[in-house]
Amino acid sequence: MLYRLRTDFRLSIITLLAISAILGITPFAVMRFLQGNVLAGAVDLGIMLAITAGTVYAWITGDTARSGFAMALVACGGAVTVGALVGEPGLFWLYPCLVTSFFLTEPRYAIFINLAAVLALMIHGVAFSSLVQMWTFAATAVVVSCCAYVFAHRNENQRERLEHLATIDPLTGVKNRRSMDQELAMAVASASRNGISYALVLLDIDYFKKINDQHGHNVGDDVLVEMVALIEQNIRKSDQLFRFGGEEFVLLMSGVDSTGLRAVMHNLQHIMHKFLRHPGGKVTASFGVALLQAGEKPDDWLARADQALYEAKETGRDRIVYASDLMPSYG
Among candidate residues 259, 287, 260, the one with its CA nearest the CA of residue 273: 287
Give how far Cα 222 sits from Cα of 219, 248, 270, Å.
Answer: 5, 15, 20
Cα 68 from Cα 100, distance rounded (Å):
10
Tell me which residue of 134, 47, 128 sits closest to 82, measured CA to CA. 47
Q: Do 199 and 280 contact (CB within 8 A), yes or no?
A: no
User: By C-alpha distance, which of 93, 109, 116, 110 is closest to 147?
Assistant: 110
Measured CA angle at 272 (ends 267, 274), to 5 deg: 95
Q: Residue 325 gets which letter from DSSP? A: G
What are phi and psi for residue 193, nearest 5 degrees? -85, -40
Query: Strand, coil or helix: what is 8?
Result: coil
CA 92/CA 107 separation, integer angstroms: 22
Q: Give me Rg for the CA atoms of the chain.
A: 29
Per DSSP, the three-state class of 16 is helix
Q: How far apart, in whole angstroms, are the C-alpha atoms of residue 305 and residue 312?
A: 11
Q: Enumerate the active-site residues.
A: 247
CA distance 310 to 243: 17
Largest CA distance in the chain: 88
Helix (H, G, I), strand (E, B) or coil at 312: helix
